[in-house]
Amino acid sequence: MEVYVIRHTPVALSKDTCYGQSNVPLADTFLQDIEQYKNELPKDFEIVYSSPLNRCKELATALQFENIVYENALMEMNFGEWENKKWNDLNQTELNNWMTNFVKVKTPNGENLVELFERVKLFADSLRKQEHKKVLLITHAGVIRCLWSYMLDIPLQNIFKIPVGHNEIFICKLTNNSNTDKIKRIK
């Protein structure tokens, strides 16, 4: 199965804001970003899976694909009490504790990276069993990194070494046997 993976378009927030599962406004470049995706993505997806967060839903709707399924497993990490706060305004002891072991330490009333990975893994395991030939995933940077960790056996503590920008298209081959999965191309 050929799986195209895209991240939502840029948001209208400063980079110093934590916004995992919050619904946040999109940047003014949204219409141009849509045109780029329309020009670069194929039109023949059998199914489109999208995070239900507004920044992904708006992209899925604007791309005008049929067969869109909103999938909670594709939501970004839940940062709990840190949502919509500036990183510098967080309790620095809690932040440092999380930064030391972000794989296993949960954010206050949120999740840790293991929980995000498990959501993505369950979804990918389910997707692997489907008969689709071409699928599109519209999701978030954390989910994309967890997908690469799943496919390529990358340790979770290393996933932030993988750059995931806005407006990139990742294309991978997901097979019945995880040993033959591969990243086909990054646009």
What beta strand segments (E) does the chain contain? 2-7, 17-18, 47-50, 68-70, 85-86, 134-139, 169-173, 182-186
pLDDT at 144: 96
Domain edges within the chain:
2-186
pLDDT at 86: 97
pLDDT at 66: 86
pTM for this prediction: 0.95
pLDDT at 97: 95
pLDDT at 176: 84
pLDDT at 87: 96
pLDDT-flagged residues of the chain (< 70): none
Instruction: Indicate the CATH number for domain 2-186.
Output: 3.40.50.1240
pLDDT in tens, 26-60: 999 999 999 999 999 999 999 999 999 999 999 99
CB 21 within 8 A of CB 73: no
